[in-house]
Amino acid sequence: MPWLNSLFHGVFARLTLSNGLIKTAGQNLVAATEFSVCSYNIHKGYRRISHSVLSEIKNALGQLNSDILCLQEVRGKDNHSQQDLCDQVAFISKGIWPYHSYGKNVDRRLTHHGNAILSKLPIEKIDHLDISTLRLSKRGVVVVRLPLGVVMICVHLGLLSHERNKQLIMIKQWINAHLAPETPIIMAGDFNDYSKRLDIEILKAGFCEVSSMNSGKRFKTYPSRLPLLPLDRIYFKHVNCVFSECMQAHPWPELSDHCAIRAVFTLNL
């Protein structure tokens, strides 16, 4: 019976998201769901050209136990790798994140890589956006809709300032065209915004950034062994951020050239 399947799916999604946080306000009960998000550029699973650390990356991400991963520079095919490591999304997600979406950005003869969202929560809708502005710099965005209407956007923007500006405009145009103004949105990834100029424009669009839970200064995530630049960020709107951290301690500097960022959110129902 289709209606029964739909009912079960809706109940399962709400039970999965909910941590049982109930607040009483007069006669009204307000349920707050809590979930965690990690953003990480995994550098294709290699710390050095010939040294794969994909297993170590999976273990480190597994210990964080985030509900949702937004990953950049993930290989979807690698004919040079061992058979079980060819699809990095499948390898990392196995046994932990049953739902995932991969968007290819760069396609080469033997490999391709892009962005991926891995989730413990059901993914209800998927969009892959091509935001490339230069022929030799392929960039994309993965968008998924999660239970209760939360929209996740995983980005990896270009290296040049004018390139990033055009890409942000395209992302904002897509948001305005496809999402209601009150939609809960989390936009995470490698923004390559070393000058912080793009940060100003994103805040003008109504987003907040998770480092505001700490000093307010953007987390320095690159290079991972001596972080100097705040390239990786997690922005949000119409959800509440209650905790955030940057993973700079061992073993993270040995796994990628970027540090991971993790944040915890609540969503009032």
CATH number reported for the structural domain that contains residue 36 in this entry: 3.60.10.10
Q: What percent of the chain has pLDDT over 70?
A: 80
Q: CA-CA distance, 145 to 123, in Å (whole number)?
A: 6
Return the number of other C-beta atoms located less than 10 Å from residue 98's C-beta: 13
**Burial group, residue 205, by CB count within 10 angstroms (0-12, 13-18, 19+):** middle
Chain segment 203-235, per-residue pLDDT in tens = 999 999 999 877 779 999 999 999 999 999 999
- Do the Cβ atoms of 122 and 150 come closer than 8 Å? no
Give the pLDDT score at 104: 82
Name the 3-class secondary structure at 6: helix
Give the pLDDT score at 233: 98
Alpha-carbon separation of residue 248 from 5, 49, 115, 117 (angstroms): 43, 22, 22, 22
H-state helical runs in 65-193 = 88-93, 161-178
Give the pLDDT score at 32: 63
Q: Which residues of the chain fall short of a pLDDT of 70?
A: 1-32, 48-50, 77-86, 106-112
- Do the Cβ atoms of 47 and 155 come closer than 8 Å? no
Give the pLDDT score at 9: 44
- Looking at the structure of the chain, the number of domains it has is 1
Return the number of other C-beta atoms located less than 10 Å from residue 210's C-beta: 27
Give the pLDDT score at 212: 86
Containing structural domain, residue 60: 2-268
Give the pLDDT score at 14: 39
Q: CA-CA distance, 39 to 23, in Å (whole number)?
A: 29
**Which one-letter amino acid corresponds to residue 203?**
L
Give the pLDDT score at 67: 97
